[in-house]
Amino acid sequence: MLIAPSLLSCDFSRFGEEIARMDKAGADFMHLDIMDGHFVPNITFGAPVIKWVRKYTDKPFDVHLMISDPLKYIDDFADAGSDIITFHIECDSDIQKTIDKIKSRGIKAGLVIKPGTPAEAVFPYLKDLYMVLVMTVEPGFGGQSFMADMLPKVAELRCEADRQGLTDLLIEADGGIGEQNIKLLADAGVDVCVAGTSVFKADDPKKAINSMKKKCE
């Protein structure tokens, strides 16, 4: 299991150092939550901030766009140093054009599905994706409760990816994940877990990441 700490729960007055701290703690990806106050009822930060903190780690930047018109901003997030860009199937941009734009910049593309969206919505795009991100909370805020009823969606996605022969497709889950439930996600077929609160509120993030990984063995 790969762990992607969500920086949404970090001390933003020390953003760069927080990223370096997560790197040392054994994070596999840095999960960066971009919210526009329109697609979701919260505002975080944009591409210039990502550009500033890029130098604090060599680990991949996994940029989760919770914005209404992602296509308009792909160049900005590409220039800022994103390695993976995921955006929501529920957004207003043309989905195929946005995937193509991300890939044309040499960046890995992913689609995200909100809890109310069925897995089938992303089936037509799977062959073009590096990753599908299944939200296990309503997007917008950290610290919410994990929705266990999203687990069958993960299994459905894995089953369809296998049917299409897409053995390399990564499935990521995001929201309310910690030591107490990560094994359920591993069993359902998740490859990458985002963890905000459970890593940042831990006394020892390295220990928290390690024990989450151990639970999945």
The count of other CB atoms within 10 Å of the CB of residue 162 is 12
- Based on CB atoms, which residue is closest to ligand DX5, 130 or 200? 200
Figure out which of the listed residues 30, 53, 64, 87 binds ligand DX5, where binding follows CB under 6 A. 64
Figure out which of the listed residues 84, 142, 153, 205 binds ligand DX5, where binding follows CB under 6 A. 142
- With CB under 5 to 8 Å by kind, the binding choice for 191 among Zn ion, ligand DX5, none is none
Output the six-digit token pair for 201.
């509120």
Q: In the bound complex, what is the minimum distance in angstroms from residue 163's beta carbon to ligand DX5?
A: 28
65 binds ligand DX5 (CB under 6 A): no
- Element (DSSP H or E) covering residue 66: strand 61-66
Owner of token pair 């889950």: 173
Nearest alpha carbon to residue 45 among 55, 34, 32: 34
- Based on CB atoms, which residue is closest to ligand DX5, 15 or 168? 15
Is there a contact between 45 and 20 (Cβ–Cβ < 8 Å)? no
114 binds Zn ion (CB under 5 A): no
Q: Report DSSP letters for 94-143, one per residue.
A: -HHHHHHHHHHTT-EEEEEE-TTS-GGGGGGGGGG-SEEEEESS-TT-SS
Q: Which stretch binds Zn ion (CB under 5 A): 11-19, 77-85, 149-157, 173-181?
A: 173-181
Q: Which stretch binds Zn ion (CB under 5 A): 15-23, 38-46, 140-148, 167-175?
A: 167-175
Is there a contact between 212 and 193 (Cβ–Cβ < 8 Å)? yes
- Based on CB atoms, which residue is closest to ligand DX5, 100 or 179? 179
Alpha carbon separation from 199 to 54, 74, 110, 193 (Å, rounded): 20, 28, 23, 11
Owner of token pair 């994990």: 146
Figure out which of the listed residues 1, 3, 6, 21 binds ligand DX5, where binding follows CB under 6 A. 6
Position 173: which residue type? A
Q: Which residues pair with 32 in a beta bridge?
A: 63
Site for ligand DX5 in 156-215 (CB under 6 A): 174-177, 194-198
Residue nearest to ligand DX5 (CB): 196
- Element (DSSP H or E) covering residue 33: strand 30-35
Figure out which of the listed residues 171, 174, 186, 198 binds Zn ion, where binding follows CB under 5 A. 174
- Based on CB atoms, which residue is closest to Zn ion, 33 or 191? 33
Contacts with Zn ion by CB under 5 A lie at 33, 64, 174
Interacting residues toward ligand DX5 by CB under 6 A? 6, 8-9, 31, 33, 64, 137, 139-144, 174-177, 194-198
